[in-house]
Amino acid sequence: MNENAIKFRLMKADDFDAVVGIDSKVLKASRPEYYEMKFEKLFKSNDYVPTSIVAENEEGAVAGFVMGELYLGEYGIFQEEATLDTIGVDPDYQNKGIGAKLISEFVEHLKTLGVRKIYTLVDWNDSALIHFFSENQFSPSKTINLERSL
Ligand SMILES: CC(C)(COP(=O)(O)OP(=O)(O)OC[C@H]1O[C@@H](n2cnc3c(N)ncnc32)[C@H](O)[C@@H]1OP(=O)(O)O)[C@@H](O)C(=O)NCCC(=O)NCCS
């Protein structure tokens, strides 16, 4: 594969099947309902600014994606904080720098919109994903999530 042939663009509603397909490949479990909810929110409401990015291979097929949210806010004012909710690279395309490029494209796009901080949540036990985020300049936040089982 020619890594330079990978192109990055904003995600569209039509990318739904490709995103669900990659997610089920990386997680080995399908969760279309989660993405139906996310796509509904991001592409059908006017409350969120487009921020999610996909990586396309030479043939225009989606090889990876990063999804995030930037809430437009009251009076259409962009917020200074955004979230990175999900990232996934097709296993056939991993370890080629696509994940890192997805993050940098996402970050550069958010910077142009005035965002100053990106939050994401990672499973404490997923050391590979924590390592990936650490390599891409994410560090532990000063706030921690608390929970109580009921
Ligand atoms: C985490 C994930 C997005 C990384 O994607 P990726 O495209 O493989 O990421 P990169 O290629 O940028 O980096 C991965 C490794 O490849 C290495 N690499 C980058 N370019 C390379 C190249 N040309 N040749 C060899 N290795 C390379 C990187 O240095 C990195 O190595 P490291 O782990 O030792 O730091 C991918 O593994 C994934 O989809 N995992 C599942 C994520 C998940 O669980 N998502 C759901 C919850 S958010």
DSSP codes, the chain? --GGG-EEEE--GGGHHHHHHHHHHHHSS--HHHHHHHHIIIII-SSB----EEEE-TTS-EEEEEEEE-B--GGGPPPSEEEEEEEEE-GGGTTSSHHHHHHHHHHHHHHHTT--EEE----TT-HHHHHHHHHTT----SS-------
Compute the distance from residue 148 Cα to the ligand 1 centre, in Å: 33
pLDDT of 72? 87
- The arrangement of secondary structure in 3-135, i.e. its CATH architecture, is 3-Layer(aba) Sandwich (3.40)
Which ligand 1 atom lies nearest to the CA of residue 103?
12
Cα of 131 to ligand 1 centre, how many Å?
A: 9
Lowest mean pLDDT: which of 46-60, 66-80, 99-113?
Answer: 66-80
The reply to whether ligand 1 has any atom less than 6 angstroms from the CB of 133 is: no
Q: Average pLDDT in the 35-46 region?
A: 92
What is residue 46's predicted lDDT score, i.e. its pLDDT? 85
Going from the Cα of 126 to the center of ligand 1, the distance in angstroms, rounded, reads 13
Q: Residue 1: its pLDDT value, please?
A: 64
Return mean pLDDT, the chain: 94
Query: In this predicted model, what pLDDT tens digit does every residue of 61-79 receive, in sequence order?
Result: 999 999 999 998 777 777 8
Residue 3 has pLDDT above 80, yes or no: no
Q: Which of 95, 121, 137 is the best mutation target for the ligand 1 pocket, counting ligand atoms within 8 Å of the beta carbon and taking the most?
A: 95
Residue nearest to atom 16 of ligand 1 (CA): 95
